[in-house]
Amino acid sequence: MTALSRLRKNAIFETVFLVAVALGLALSVQAYAVKPYRIPSPSMEPTLHIGQRVLVNRLTHRLGSKPSVGDIIVFHPPAAADDEGCGAAGQGGGTQFPCSRPVPKHSGETFIKRVVAVGGDTIAIRGGHAVRNGVREKDPYVAPCGDSPEQCTFSHAITVPKGYVFVMGDNRGQSDDSRFWGPVPLKWVIGDAIATYWPPDRIGGV
């Protein structure tokens, strides 16, 4: 084998090796750090629209970070979310108590919602606005709840269990969320939505 042939062979090997390393790093980043998600429904409008794509930080949650009120998170919802749970069916059409009963099993789906209360907080909903520990949230991001008044008021407060978060969509009249199937365990949280990257005219933080 000539010196030129050896150089070509080494160059090809180095190229293949670098591509393999780059692919491995990209897959590792997606698996453990940052992953893209597509918004499938209008439940987070006007903040996030159908088809919009967001980047979700998975790493900080794996390292023990806990969601805070106001964070937008991706998570596995309770299994009851597939057929609606205690809030929708058992609480007088949404006029009494939001669902307070944790569900032991999660669904295989992934949802994206906003955290409106954390473990130990009391939560009620009046006119589509979260009332946490007796104080109404500052919520310029929410859509009016006028089209679905039965979902807008759960006037009796419940307490969110420790180790759980209570989540709601910003489109309060068109969101299937903790009001109807209860709080979400922290261990079902995948990560925080940190930025939107598609479409181009909506690139930025969330």
Instruction: Please give the positions annotated as active site.
Output: 43, 113
Q: Going along 39-101, which residue ranges are E strands?
A: 53-57, 72-75
The CA distance from 112 to 110, in Å, is 7
State whether residue 199 is helix, strand or coil: coil
The CA distance from 15 to 30, in Å, is 23
The CA distance from 184 to 117, in Å, is 11
Supply 156's token pair. 């009796």
H/E segment holding residue 107: none
